[in-house]
Each structure stands twice: as structure tokens, then as C-alpha cells.
Amino acid sequence: MTAQASAPAQGAVPEQAAAAPPPAQRRVKLRRVTRDGALTLFGAAFGALGLTWLLYERVLAFSGVLGFWLSWYVIFLLMYCAMAAVQWDRRAVADRVASVAFGTGGLLTCAIVADQIIYVLLRGGHVATHLSFSTHTLARTGSLSPLFSGGDLEGIVGTLEMLGLATLFSVPLGITAAIFLSEVGGAWARPVRTLVEAMTALPDIIAGLFILAFAILTLGMQESGVAAALALAVTMMPIVTRGAEVVIRIVPGMLREASYALGGSQWRTVWNVVLPTARPGLATAVVLAMARGIGETAPVLLTAGYAKGMNANPLHGWQPSLVTYIFNEHQLPDPNDQARCFGAAVTLMVLVLVLFAIARWLGGGKPGELSRRDRRRIAREAVRR
């Protein structure tokens, strides 16, 4: 490591070197992984693993894998503290322990997400990848029928229809409300923004109860896909608004001013400048709201009803969806029903992941930033002229 330090000295002019030999300067690298730092970390991790194993499995009468890793983490942090205290001063110890604690927090969160996805795929993957599973319904499946006598087609159709309708109901209203918050504003903007944020974390079951009380019991609507879509729209609309407001807000003010300077009215500016500029971000907000809406279970349970077999008409009759399908299959005791439950969970998870991937793909850049495809299109048009 000290080898490069003498490098600048070799080209020095003789008389200067004779006058005062400049002290060897070494460039300070920020955030470099040092050998002792890394070894302390690994040492603490493996030392804690050994000690935990010895105490947990051999000496003390503990059991359970979760307890093992909890004890490991506590011992790991203590060991790391001790090993750091041997080498560094107190400030550096606090700094290092804090960064390890936060780093493991981030790692834990990522591990949880990965665990959810992988566990569901492992349990239900062999069911969901069977072609007949996603092309058949449960119409002819009884309590002791074989595993692939039915599938989750009815759930897929129901979920997609409800989600489509809910998007149709919630997106125009949600984005218009976002335009109100960021473009028009006024005295009411603050309370509206507060309420929207409060509604994003509202219990989803309340939306179901509301539609049950309002549309089904008061207006006399049937329990159906549309009712469920209305309930989903109530939960999705605040999410759309919150996401869209953030995106519209970061559209550069210069673009608006340019539009006004050219004589554009306000709605022209919003329609022709602000919204197109924010389009990728808006699409991301919408798709993220859809990914949230697709998994809402409680409102659908209360408003859509459940019946085995296909019902492709959301306006009439009980309509099964993936979430109610999982909910009902889970309550049946037969192992085949449990397997189908996990198969449908894989389908649901894949739909969420696809929506999520679309959202990331659409919302890659900042608003106004041209994607590579946009730049190619502009270049093509320039050549044509």
C-alpha cells in the first residue's frame, strides 16, 4: 500500500530535491474497505455464529431457528463492539457500530422481501407452472378431486377485470386531484394534501364497509365485481394522487413559463406541457397504485362475494378474484386445496412483479429527460426533414 507513495519523487528536479525534500503525499481514499475493517466484521460474524451454535444447540436448552438467528445477531453486535473497542477509539467504535447496525437493518429488509417472493415461488411454483392450472376453473372441482382438476383462471379473470375497472374509476379523479394540489393550489390545498396522505394508510377494510353500506345496502346494488372495483378505487385514488403530485411538482417551472409566454392558457399549459412532461412518472404512480390495489383482500371479500367457477361479467353476480380464491382455498383442509392456494399466490405475486417491473421501466428517468428511444425518434425525424 505504501509502494505508490514514493512515485511522485522520481521525476523531481535535483536542486529542488536538495533544497527541501517534499513529504511523500498519499491520496486519502474515502470509504475504502480496509483489511482490518473487513476482517473485524467477518471475525465478529463467524465468531458469533460459532458461539451461538455452541450455546444454543449444545449448552442451553433452546430450540427454533428464529431464536437462533436473533441470538446470533445480538452476540454479533456485542462481539463487533468488543473487537472494535480493542482497535479504535470510542468515536470510531460508535461510528462503525452504527453503520453496521443500519447496514444490517437494510439487509434485513431486503432479505424479508426476497424471502416472501422465494418462499411463495418454492411452495407454489410447481402448481402455477403447470399449464392446466392457469387455463382451468374450479367449476368441476370437489373437495377430494385431484390437484389439477381445476385452476385459478376464474381468479385471474376476476382480478384483472376488477383492477381494470378500479383503475378506470380512480386514475382520472386521482390525477385531477394531483393537478389541483400542484397547479391550482390555494387555501384548500393543504387540508386536501393532509387528508390524501391520511387516506393512503387507511385500513382497506373501511373501503369495503363503505361500499357495502353505500352501494350494496343503500343503492341496492348486487355484490359483484363492480362493487369490489368501487371499493378498490377508494383505496387506490389517494395513492395515485400522492404519487402523481410528487411527479407533477418536479416538472421544471421554466416549461410552464414558456407556455404562458407563448400565450397559452392554464389548462392548455397543463394539458400540453405539464402532463406530457410528467407522463412517465404519472404512469409509474398509476402502476404502483395498481400493484397495491391488486393485493387488497378485505374490501373484495366484503363486496364481491365468492362462488366457484367462471364469472366473466363484473356487473352481475358474485365474482371470484385471486385474493378471495386464495382466502377460500386456504380454509379448506385438503392438501390439494392448500397446493392450489399457493399456486394462486404465485400467480398473484407474478402479476404484482410484472406491474412493478412495468412501473420501473416506465419511470426510469426524470421528467423531461429524454429516453434513448425518444432521442432516436427525434434524430430519425430530423433526418427525414
Window 296-315: residues binding other proteins (CB under 8 A): 296-298, 301-302
User: Among residues 160 and 250, whose Cβ is nearest to other proteins?
Assistant: 250
Residues in the interface with other proteins (CB under 8 A) total: 102
**Nearest distance from C-beta of residue 381 to other proteins, angstroms:** 31
Would you say 9 or 202 has its CB closer to other proteins? 202
Binding to other proteins (CB under 8 A) within 130-169 occurs at: none
Nearer to other proteins, 151 or 293 (CB): 293
Window 7-26: contact mask with other proteins (x via CB under 8 A): --------------------
Q: Closer CB to other proteins, residue 127 or residue 234?
A: 234
CB of 197 to other proteins, least distance (A): 4
Task: From 15-23, 94-102, 161-169, 368-376, give the range in contact with other proteins by CB under 8 A.
Answer: 94-102
Instruction: With contacts defined by CB under 8 A, name the span among 8-16, 20-28, 89-97, 125-133 that binds other proteins.
Output: 89-97
- Out of 12, 16, 36, 119, point to the residue binding other proteins (CB under 8 A): 119
- Alpha-carbon dihedral of residues 276, 278, 284, 289, nearest 10 degrees? -90
- The reply on whether position 224 binds other proteins by CB under 8 A is no
| Nearest to other proteins of 78, 205 (CB atom) | 205
- Least gap, CB of 220 to other proteins (angstroms): 14
Task: List C-alpha distances in Å: 100 to 49, 105, 250, 385.
Answer: 16, 8, 34, 58
Cell representation of residue 269: 399549459
Q: Give least dist CB 233 to other proteins, A.
A: 10
Please select the residue that binds other proteins; options are 200, 311, 319, 336, rule is CB under 8 A.
200
Q: Which is nearer to other proteins, 7 or 66 (CB)?
A: 66
335: contact with other proteins by CB under 8 A = no
Which span sits near other proteins by CB under 8 A: 13-21, 86-94, 130-138, 139-147?
86-94
> Of 72, 73, 148, 249, which lies in the binding site for other proteins, with binding defined by CB under 8 A?
249
CB 300 within 8 A of CB 211: no
Residue list 98-117, contact with other proteins (CB under 8 A): 98-99, 101-106, 108-110, 112-113, 115-117
Task: Kindly state whether residue 288 participates in binding other proteins, applying the rule CB under 8 A.
Answer: yes
Of 138, 162, 163, 177, the residue at the interface with other proteins (CB under 8 A) is 177
Q: Is the dihedral of CA 30, 36, 39, 41 positive or negative?
A: negative
Residues 6+ apart with CB under 8 A from 309: 137, 138, 139, 154, 320
Residue 171 binds other proteins (CB under 8 A) = no
Which lies closer to other proteins via its Cβ, residue 95 or residue 374?
Answer: 95
Does the footprint of other proteins cover residue 234 (CB under 8 A)?
A: yes
Pick the binder of other proteins from 11, 14, 23, 64 (CB under 8 A).
Answer: 64
Q: Whose Cβ is closer to other proteins: residue 148's or residue 356's?
A: 356
SS3 letters across the chain = CHHHHHHHHCCCCHHHHHHCCCCCCCCCCCCCCCHHHHHHHHHHHHHHHHHHHHHHHHHCCCCCHHHHHHHHHHHHHHHHHHHHHHHCCHHHHHHHHHHHHHHHHHHHHHHHHHHHHHHHHHHHHHHHCCCCCCCCCCCCCCCCCCHHHCCCHHHHHHHHHHHHHHHHHHHHHHHHHHHHHHHHCCCCHHHHHHHHHHHHCCCHHHHHHHHHHHHHHHCCCCCCHHHHHHHHHHHHHHHHHHHHHHHHHCCCHHHHHHHHHCCCCHHHHHHHHHHHHCHHHHHHHHHHHHHHHHCCCHHHHHHCCCCCCCCCCCCCCCCCCHHHHHHHHHHCCCHHHHHHHHHHHHHHHHHHHHHHHHHHHHCCCCCCCCCHHHHHHHHHHHHHC
What span, in angstroms and rounded, lies between the C-alpha atoms of 23 and 304?
Answer: 79
Work out whether 212 is an interface residue with other proteins (CB under 8 A).
yes
Q: Rule CB under 8 A: is residue 74 a binding residue for other proteins?
A: no
Kindly state whether residue 365 participates in binding other proteins, applying the rule CB under 8 A: no
